[in-house]
Structures are given as structure tokens and as C-alpha cells.
Chain A
Amino acid sequence: MINTLKNIMNIPSVSGNEEYLKEYIISEIKNYCDEYYVDNFGNLIVKINGNDETLMINTPMDESGFLITHKEENKLYFAGIGGISPKETVGKFVKAVDGEAKGIIVADKEINDELKFSDMHIEAFGEAETGDIFALENSINQLGDNIFGYALSRKAGVAVLLEAIKKSYKNNTKTLYFAFSAEDLLGFKGAKVASNVISPDYTVVITSSCEQKNLTDAKFGGGIAVRIKDNIVITNKAFRKSFTDKFDKNDIPYQLEIAEKGVFNSEAAYNAGGSQTAVLGYFVKNPDTTYECISIKDIENLVKALENL
């Protein structure tokens, strides 16, 4: 699973440019499902047949990146796509999503919270044009049970779903839809389309949790997060208990959490036919940096949890 995660982290998937990651996921899961397709919006949907009850498991698959807006010799000027802060990207290596060009991000002004992408440029090596999309090169490190790198708060979820598909195939009861949603950073877009089309009975959204934005004592290292509520959704208690009872029985460590802020994927699921919606999370340290950190145990337990829904 760690290798899978590392592969996923190395594949650029800037919002709207998720095709390479989709290709990788498809190559991994095509023998472990009954059907897979890319919908007209760009979401990858993987289906495993089961009984009449339908469960959608959703995770976003995109990451922040850069649009090249102007070129002066090997200096590329750019705008941000997604949400990463300009300051965070200074000194980071980048690569073109399509093509071979690489480069490093340089600030033209003092590096502080006021720094804007318009006051930065990429020192580029190789052919690049206005309109090209660049992604951050991921620097992945494993220290003990922890993995560090960029976009883990999104890509660890992709690894979890990928592994869960392999484990669930022919071991499932409900009909399962695994929805890898596109353009999530641009307004939770993919999840809206996926929810509309699939309109499942149950939805589980996989997301990252964070100690600092938690209203409970749930913390990194204490097990996966089972969300009681956030500012968007409150999970039906009976539905929640239906799976936490199984987690208890199967010794899957979890913590109940109340998060300050939720993800609109859960709202999308609610709105599409009133799906019973739950949110499961893995803890991320240093969120929104290029050195986000997760625990391998968390994502392994999350896979087990998905087998017990």
C-alpha cells in the first residue's frame, strides 16, 4: 500500500488535469471491479456489484498547480489553480503536466504572507508555453510510521480507495461505487456530479482530519476519525453506529470527532436523493504545506474500515 501511495503522489493531478492519475487507478483496479467509467465531467467511477443497497465511497483526486500566463525566455509567469499559498511554493521544483519541462519557483519580492503568485516566476528548463499547466514535484519521505509529502490530504484517500476496491471485490454485500472526484479544489465540483448520477442510498466521504480544526480531543495517532458532525453534515446516529459497532468488533481503532469545517462532498450526497452520509477521516499534520504528514496505520485502518461498512 505504501508503494501504491508513493506512486500516486508522484503522478501530477492538478485540478482539471487528473487524466494521468485516472489512468494509473484504472490500471490497478481493472481486474477488481465489475465496471469502471469516466463520467462526462471527468470523475472516475468504479463499480462492484452487490445487493440492491447502494453505497458510494468518495474521495477527491486533484491537487493544486499552476497555469503559465506569460513567458519571457526561460522565465515563466503563472497563476495558481486550487488553494496552495504562494509563500509555501517558493523554492519548490515543478514539472509540466504535459511535456518534459521542469523548473523551480522563485519569488521576485520578499517572502511573507503578502506574497502573490503574480510576484513570482518559474525558472524553467525545457520547452513550455503560455497555457501549460505545471505541478509541484513531490518530495516523499518516510520516517517511522509517518509519510511526509505534498497533497497527502488528498492522495492518501486515493490510495485508501484503491486498496479498498481490491479488498472488497467479491467480498462485498452492498453494491459499491467508488467515486474518485475531479476538480474538488475548484468547489467540490466532481462530487456534485457523481452524487447526482449515482444517487446512492449511502455515502461515505473520505477526507483528511486535522487536530487544530477539531472541536473534540481527537488527535493524530489516535486512530481514524469517525465524524459525528461538522458545519455541513451530521451523520445519522443509527447509521454511524451500524459501522462503528463493526469497527469495535474488528479492533479498528477510531476516534469520534466534531470538525470545525466540513467538505461539501457530503452536502452534494445529501442533496442527491437524500443519501445517508458519513465522513471518515485520516489525520494530517502540517495541512496545506508541501510536507503534510500522515500515519501509515491510519490509512491501513481506513481500508479495513471500508471493508466493514
Chain B
Amino acid sequence: MLEKLCNLNGVSGTTDAVKDFIINEIKPYVTEITVMPCGNIIAFKKGKYTPPKKVMADAHIDEVGLIVKDITDDGYLKFDEVGGFDERILLSKRVTVGENCIPGIIGIKAVHLATKEEREKVVPISEMYIDIGAFSKEEAEKYVKKGDTIAFVSEYKKIGQNSVKAKALDDRVGVAALISALKKDAEYDYYAAFTVSEEIGTVGAQSAAEFVKPDIAIILEGTTCSDVPGTREHEQSTNQGKGPALSVVDRASYSDKKLNVFIKKIANENNIDFQLKRTVMGGNNARSIQLSGGGVKTAVLSVPLRYIHSPVSVMNISDYENYEKLVKCFLDNIGRAGEIYD
């Protein structure tokens, strides 16, 4: 499931393939599906009981990528970013452009032509181009158009004994865990929101929250993990293999304290490993969901992803398994959500 999801392309603005896949997967298992005009999928899962508070689980279906900004006279594509990037990761990467999946390579001028200064600095996106093997603007325009989105080419692959590398793990991990929960019987009713445009300002989630009007929302995400050489322990954010990460606060939201206590309790009762996210960087759909309507109590649960927002994110398989378990356990216990309001 996760493999299929990661191999689909869904750069913000062109998420239809992911959307169609999800609908196809969940249709037999949910009571009602609404596809909002913006592309959000809102699914209602009927459980055995109705919980005292309305709960929504959110996962975003878009991924970071690039977009064609211009085509040069000699057939190269100039591009801009969709979502946030570390420019250092882009050079020499394989990409696929537009709906026709035209293959290309991100390039810059040859190293022997670069000045000393140019060699020592990070190459800005404005100096890069995508080579699709065309030799003129006219030739390139037969295959691609300005505004086409560009996705990375990176197969989902197992590496080592218990890890996976893929593109778009952010946030197909959330999508996969939510689909997996929907496929099983539920103790309590809940809404599953598969939302668009998280990477460009969490706008899809805003519409989803206005539509569902939840009291409580759990945001399912992938998050930064820099447990690698060169990072001091207190700056690592999360560690691979220590379980899904629960956020306290980041740049976008402060998780509801009592909701976090509740989730920790559920994890402990069910012997599911988890960790706290230990930096205040990053942001996600909680930003807009928590402010909608009369306010929403939010929590953020994430799979730690090394090299997030790159074509080769790496995750630990046990972390994902524990994440999937914890998501399901949380949803099966939301009848006790009254505790959060004591």
C-alpha cells in the first residue's frame, strides 16, 4: 500500500492520481465519501458507537516537487519549487515532467566553467535547468508546457534490514495509515480527511476543517529526523526506530496538552513505542485546522523521516508499523475523549 502510494506522483496542484487511488481503496469500507471541489476527500467511517466529540483524522495527499516556469530558446526548462526545499539536494536528480511523464535531469553548467566563487556556494534554483533532451523551445513545447508540475523519479525500495527509501513518504505514510484504519471495523464514528495543498500553505485542511467542523483533530504526518552524523543530540528532532513522534509545539501550532496526554496514555496502555518530537521547527495542517470554527483541539503524530522533502526520504519500517497501530488505537478509544475536557 505505502509502496504504491509513494510511487504515485502528486505534487501540490496535481493530486488527482493519488485522490483516485485513495477513493478506490476506501470506497467499500466507508459510509460516505465527499470529494470537495478543491480535491479534498472527506470520508465518514461509521463505528459501533458515536463518540461524545466529533473527531477528524487528517493526512495530506500532496507532495513537494517543482513546476515549469519557462522554456528557454534552446529547449531547457527553467523551474520553481512547489513546497519548501533544500536547494543542495536538487542537482543531477532524475525527474518526470507533466502528465505525459517526460523524463528529465536537473543540471547546471559544467564545473570547469564555474568561477571559484560559484563552485563554493550552493547553486540557486535560478541557475539550474531541466534537460529533457530537446534542442529548441519548439521541440520542448511539443512535450511540456509552462505550469506543468515536476515530480522526482525515485522508486520505493527497502534498504538494510528494516528501512525504506522513497520519495513522497511525506505524507503518504499518513495517507497509508489512515487508509489502513478505514479498512478495519471502527469502535467509534470518525471523519477521515485526505487533504490537498499542505505543502503550499496548509490551505486544503482549512476547507476540510470548515466542512467537517470537528472538535478534535489528529494530524498524521511525516516529520524531520536528523539523527545523523554532524547533528548534536539535542538538535536531532526525532530518532529512527524509536516509534512515531508526537509533537508538542512547532512553528505552526501548539498541540493541545490534554490531547497529548491522552495519546501518550493510549500508546502506553497498548505497549506502542513512541517518542516526542524534540525541536520546534516545521509546521503542518494543524496550523489551519486548529483555528477553524470555534477552535479545534489538535495533536500531530508523525513518522520520523530522514532527508524529508527530498527524492530519497528514509524511514524505519517498525516506526511506520507502530504509527499505524497507534493511529488505529487512538481512533478506537476516542469514546474516552471526554477526559480531554475535564
Contact = CB atoms under 8 A, between A and B. Distances in A.
Contact of B297 (A19, A40, A130, A197): A40
B295 interface: yes
A69 B234 CA distance: 6
A22 to B, nearest CB: 12
A189 interface: yes
B193 to A, nearest CB: 18
B255 to A, nearest CB: 8
A16 interface: yes
B291 A41 contact: yes
Nearest to A198: B294
Which of under 10, 10 to 19, 20 to 34, or 35 or more describes the interface residues of B? 20 to 34
Contacts of A131: 248, 276, 278
A186 B254 contact: yes
The 10 closest A-B CB pairs, nearest first, are A41-B295, A16-B254, A77-B234, A70-B234, A193-B295, A69-B278, A40-B295, A79-B280, A131-B276, A197-B294
A41 B290 contact: yes
Contacts of A183: 254
B296 interface: yes
Interface string A160-176: 00000000000000000
Nearest to A62: B254
Contacts of A80: 280
Given A77-B234, A81-B280, A118-B232, A41 B296 contact: yes
A290 interface: no
Contacts, number: 69
A67 B295 contact: no
Contacts of B297: 40-41
Contacts of A39: 294-295
Interface in A122-143: 130-131, 133
- Counting chain A CB atoms within 10 Å of each CB, which of B233, B248, B276, B295 scores highest? B295
A31 B50 CA distance: 37
A286 interface: no
The range of chain A's interface size is: 20 to 34
B321 interface: no
30 contacts: A15-B254, A16-B254, A17-B257, A39-B294, A40-B294, A40-B295, A41-B294, A41-B297, A42-B256, A42-B295, A69-B235, A69-B278, A70-B234, A72-B233, A77-B233, A79-B279, A79-B280, A80-B280, A81-B249, A81-B254, A118-B235, A130-B276, A131-B248, A131-B278, A186-B249, A186-B254, A196-B293, A197-B293, A197-B294, A197-B295
A41 B287 CA distance: 12
B215 interface: yes
Interface string A186-204: 1001001100110000000
Given A41-B290, A42-B295, 18 more contacts: A15-B254, A16-B249, A19-B257, A40-B297, A41-B291, A41-B295, A69-B235, A69-B278, A70-B278, A81-B249, A118-B232, A118-B234, A118-B235, A130-B278, A186-B254, A196-B294, A197-B294, A197-B295
Nearest to B297: A40
B42 to A, nearest CB: 20
A58 interface: no
Interface string A233-250: 000000000000000000
B253 interface: yes
Residue with the highest number of chain A CB atoms closer than 10 Å, among B233, B254, B293: B254
B280 to A, nearest CB: 4
A193 B276 contact: no
A189 B234 contact: no
Contacts of B235: 69, 118
Contacts of A40: 215, 294-297
A54 interface: no
Contact of B291 (A81, A118, A189): A189
B294 A70 contact: no
A41 B256 CA distance: 8
A189 B294 CA distance: 12
Contact of A186 (B234, B253, B257, B294): B253
B225 to A, nearest CB: 14
Contacts of B255: 16
A192 B295 CA distance: 9
Interface in A210-264: none
A77 B290 CA distance: 28
Contacts of A192: 291
A119 to B, nearest CB: 10
Contacts of B294: 39-41, 193, 196-197
